[in-house]
Chain A
Amino acid sequence: MSAAGRSAAARRPAAASGAALAAGTARAAGPDPLITEVQPWASEFGDPVDAAPYGMPIRFEDHVVRRNVEWLTESPVSSINFTPIHALEGTITPAGCAFERHHSGAIELSKSDYRLMITGLVDRPLVFTYEDLTRFPRQSRVAFLECAANGGMEWGGAQLEGCQFTQGMIHNMEYVGVPLSALLAEAGVKPEGKWIYFEGADASSNGRSIPLEKAMDDVLIAFYANGEALRKEHGYPVRAVVPGWEGNLWVKWLRRISVYDQAVEGREETSKYTDLMPDGRARKWTWVMDAKSVITSPSPQAPIYHGRGPLVITGLAWSGNGRISRVDVSLDGGKNWQEAEIEGTPQPKALTRFRLPIQWDGSEMILQSRAMDETGYVQPTKDALREIRGLNNVYHNNGIQTWWVRASGEVENVEVG
């Protein structure tokens, strides 16, 4: 079929194509030429091993890419794009399509130009090269990085169409690096040092303060993600990994760690990443990302093309307060719930995959997922959050997402009430 022909066909309602294959055991009308005729790939050569020293996904997957929404920000170098979570499975995010958030663009910083300074209330202010960092004992851990603003556009209502856009400011990688506590031990934190300040090498600097307790607990200064060096856009060659806490704190291209007796109250923790409440005051230091989930399929970008019968409902759950203990799924907008299957053993502060296989009878559904974490916290509805916080929080929207599955198999982002 020509590209033009495909495009025209694609405009047909999904049901038109899905209906023909509605029954899972449909009898073939005749022999399938893909089976009965020898195909070129079963006869000729494929690519040689030297075709792609570092490969990219096959072209048929070219919809599985980061996307941005131009109107969200005034400049594409202080902006956001979105991970295609609607098309991914499991829990590890491929780095090449893992979302980006920069405040002055993605800078290029070589390992040989890289320097890390530790200053402030320490016994020995130090400078490290990249090579120095590789000589510390290492740790690894898997963690989600969720932008504080993930879902922020949805505080006021259903706005964007697809979980890539409404929940896709997130990625989940396996990091390897040095515990921050080991670097601080090298410099020696003075007793009056209570706060750690991170700053990046980029023009925005993205300076953030975190309390010493967190720094000593599980913060990693990472140089590998998913087995390889960090991508440029994710902080090459060194970034902070701050498990469970809002993505803005995961300072990229990390150049300075300073110890203070008070919080710096930099721009990214006063003007930004503070959460306005109904009385006109604002929460600050809302570091932890609370328990959250989303059904990634079906979803607006993952409609049901296959008609009625077996259907896999699948999604992601995560919590900055520990492990996911349970995920419930509702097919009727929250009136009734059933427990989903959780893949493997959930890791703390990491993405967790859930699935619920159902038999779809072809009628409308109002899908929701509800995460619970090991502290007993149950993911709230958007209305429950708004009742406390109003509409102008901007950040930390972990409200339950609703998808309206139409009889056609198409899926919409909606709110119910």
Chain B
Amino acid sequence: GPAAAEPLGLGRPALPEEIAAWDMTVLPDGTGLPEGSGDVWTGDEVFAEACAMCHGDFAEGLDNWPVLAGGAGSLQDRRPVKTIGSYWPYLSTVWDYVHRSMPFGMAQTLSADDVYAISAFLLYSNGIVEDDFVLSKENFAGIVMPNAEGFYPDDRPGIEYPKFRTEPCMADCAESAEITKRAVKLNVTPEDPDGRPAGTLPDLHLTAAGTEPP
């Protein structure tokens, strides 16, 4: 198979500085964390400066920007509130994602200590630690997120595929074909000037050849 392919000698060795610059990934067990630490109150200050304009002073989210705190116990609600505290399984993901991809539009501008402090503040905002908590590389792996056990690998092959891999009904099926929902009742689709859904094909009877297109 392709796995046994002989190397062609293409590429060149990656230097340690290059690997350090790009491989910033933090694994669930904390592997990959740099040295550093940060406390809740420092995190509050950094958050106020770099994050609160979108995510709110208390990580509660402004306008439609993501809510980072709250929603505990809502995962079976009609409209669940999935936040770091209510939903995310690992603190490593918070650290890794904030460090690499936030603030939105100014990513990779936070120091390791900034990210430890923001992570401590987000833990506090979600009621997971006290306000005097200091997060560091050393105690990181000891933090267990509330929804750490909330996920399981894809089980469609066991649960769904046997149910759906059956010969389907072709004639006189017992389906009910009463219309129960209509998208037009919501009327939230972008529209063309004539009120039809945006991008509706032109009616060729109305478009004489050589005239202006719609």
Contacts and interface: CB of A to CB of B under 8 A. Distances in A.
A278 interface: yes
A379 B166 CA distance: 10
A378 B164 contact: yes
Nearest to B196: A301
Interface string B59-83: 0000111100000000110111010
Contacts of A282: 75, 87, 150-152
Contact of A333 (B7, B104, B177): B177
A199 B21 CA distance: 13
B168 interface: yes
Q: How large is the interface on B (under 10, 10 to 19, 20 to 34, 35 or more residues)?
A: 35 or more
Interface string A79-94: 0000010110000000
Interface in A96-120: 103-104, 117-120
A158 B154 contact: no
A413 interface: yes
B209 A378 contact: no
A74 B188 contact: no
A135 B10 contact: yes
A7 interface: yes
B159 A388 contact: yes
Contacts of B199: 63-65, 67, 84, 86-87, 162, 164, 301
B201 A328 contact: no
A37 to B, nearest CB: 11
Interface in A256-311: 256, 258, 260, 262-267, 270-271, 274, 276, 278-288, 290, 300-303, 305
B214 A6 contact: yes
Given A158-B182, A416-B179, A256 B154 contact: no
Contact of B101 (A70, A104, A179): A104
A380 B170 contact: no
A334 B167 CA distance: 14
A65 B200 CA distance: 11
Contacts of A64: 199
A204 interface: yes
A392 interface: yes
Contacts of B182: 158, 404, 412-414
Interface string A205-228: 101000000001000000000000
A305 B196 CA distance: 14
A358 interface: no
Given A185-B6, A266-B97, A413-B182, A203 B188 contact: no
A185 B3 contact: yes
Contact of B189 (A2, A165, A187, A258): A165
B198 interface: yes
Contacts of B2: 179, 181-182, 185, 216
A280 B7 contact: no
Given A158-B182, A216-B2, A267-B97, A378 B166 contact: yes
Contacts, number: 334
Max chain A C-beta neighbours (<10 A), residue from B28, B105, B161, B184: B184
B179 A119 contact: no
B100 to A, nearest CB: 5
B171 A279 contact: no
Contact of B80 (A60, A265, A276): A276
A414 B164 contact: no
- Most chain A beta-carbon contacts within 10 A, residue among B7, B13, B80, B84: B7
A337 B195 CA distance: 33
Interface stretch (A13-21, A232-240, A340-348): A13-21
Contact of B181 (A14, A71, A414): A414
A379 B1 CA distance: 33
Contact of B89 (A135, A265, A404): A265
Interface stretch (A48-56, A124-132, A169-177): A124-132
Contacts of A2: 212
Nearest to A281: B150
Contacts of A47: none
Contacts of A11: 194-195
A290 to B, nearest CB: 7
Output the residue of B11, B181, B196 with the most chain A CB within 10 A.
B11
A63 B200 contact: yes
A281 B151 contact: yes
Given A159-B188, A301-B201, A378-B166, 11 more contacts: A6-B214, A10-B206, A63-B202, A117-B19, A125-B13, A185-B2, A185-B3, A266-B25, A302-B200, A335-B172, A391-B78
